[in-house]
Amino acid sequence: MEEEEEEDEEEEEEEEAAESNPNHNHIPLEIVSEDEMALIEAALSAAASAAAVRIPSSSSPLLSVSRSLKRTITSPLKRTLTCCSNAGTPSEEIEDLGDNSHMKEKKKKSGEGLTSLYLKFRNRRGLSVTDITRSEWCEKQMEFILLHGKPKRTNAMKAGSARHAELEEEVVKRVELPINSVEESWAVKFSNFIIGTNQLLFEGLTREIPIVGHVEGVWMSGVIDEIRMPVTEADQNPLLVDIKTRYRATLPSEAQKRNSRFQLMCYKYLWDNMIANNFPLEDFFAHFELNPEYIFSEDVRQHISSSACNVVTFREFMMYFRNMCHLLPPSSEQLLLRYEYQGDNSLLGEYQFNYDDSWFKSQTLQCLKFWMGEREAGFVSKDERWKCGFCSFAGKCPMVNSQESQLENELPKDLCP
């Protein structure tokens, strides 16, 4: 779907902007109810129906991944990832379908006459993980993007997107499905989540998993690059992985690593909340102005049945989705960043770190104050002003204009042209 492709493209833009310048798994035994057993059996059926093409083990790139982890991962089957094609309506992102007239009434002011960028630009669709990580990178740059549009993508950004598409193709087969409403678009998104997690549970690895949830009272969505199931009985929590491609064969700066850590922590927070049975259905329906009693078209109904979910209305499907989420394990406290060289897709390094709940919430609240108009956009810190040398909006930035003579001296030597 369009927003998933956009997530893949956007998540590397800040990192690649600087680089483009030369300058098997074990499921615990527990007593379950008849309803839960029916869901488990349905999941097994769905996993079997979703598996279409087996990757030859001799050519599977997962072999190099497993060597870096010193363990063996079963080569996965391809799953079907359904993309929405609107029937009889203009092509739009999922969250933008429907009447947006109410947004004009909600462009309220807060703080000292500041505009809430969330209400102005993201009220209908919610924030993406990319929105949050871009804010952490530079709030002023995020503000410029909202007001003036995204800058032209560099060759390094395009190469990063192409690599993510290759990785997706190894385990995912994309198909198009005509949809007629925003409810059907959301159903397809969550159906892809169900099919993807089935692939994770029974094959040990999946990619491009859409997630949606509440973060500090704000709806947020994202797409996880990769999730791996551990192969030891002692560890039963899926490992969330984000894959970064590098224009140059060097490891990233601490600022880039910090931004990527924040991104993966967002994914973990969303995953853990989805599977903890905390998904607030009624708030979800109300916020996105969805009709829970909407009756699916025959095409969408048949697609949803491929995930062993025989439902008619949107509410029935969402209740099934929430129940399925509740059967999944929470993600590992450890998270993994993988860095590849764009020149030959070779591994530059892997960086594993622990989730830090207090740091994550502190960073998120700081970003939300900017989005909600509680304070003006902040600039980068003095020791990170080298970022300005690679920003497309530097000519418009008041901080850059006031200190332009100092920028060249502040750029790290390894980033200078």
Q: DSSP letter string over 352-376? A: EEE--HHHHHHHHHHHHHHHTTSSP
pLDDT at 156: 82
State the DSSP H helix or E strand holding residue 112, giving kind and residue range, or none if neither.
Answer: none
Please list the residues that pair with 334 across neighbouring strands: 354
Q: DSSP letter string over 15-46? A: HHHHHTS------------HHHHHHHHHHHHH
Place of tokens 């029916």: 38
- Name residues whose C-beta falls within 8 Å of residue 242's C-beta, 6 or more positions apart in sequence: 11, 224, 225, 226, 260, 263, 264, 267, 335, 336, 337, 338
Could you tell me the maximum CA-CA distance found in the chain, to the nearest angstrom?
Answer: 71
What's the Rg (C-alpha) of the chain? 22
- Name residues whose C-beta falls within 8 Å of residue 29's C-beta, 6 or more positions apart in sequence: none
Cα separation, 320 vs 309, whole angstroms: 7
Query: What does the pLDDT profile of the chain (417 residues) look like in tens digits?
Result: 444 445 445 444 444 444 444 443 333 333 334 444 444 444 444 433 333 323 222 222 322 222 232 223 333 456 666 676 654 433 333 333 333 333 334 434 444 457 899 999 998 889 999 999 999 999 999 999 999 998 888 788 888 888 888 888 888 787 889 999 999 999 999 999 999 999 999 999 999 999 999 898 899 999 999 999 988 877 889 999 999 999 999 999 999 999 999 999 999 999 999 998 778 999 999 999 999 999 999 999 998 987 778 899 999 999 999 999 999 999 999 999 999 999 999 999 999 999 999 999 999 999 999 999 999 999 999 999 999 998 999 999 998 877 664 545 555 544 433
pLDDT at 49: 37
φ, ψ dihedrals at 30, nearest 5°: -155, 160
Give me the residue spans of the domains in the chain. 2-91+109-378
pLDDT at 190: 95
pLDDT at 238: 96
In the numeric block, which tokens belong to residue 282? 């009624």
DSSP state of 77: B
The pTM (predicted TM-score) of the whole model is 0.74
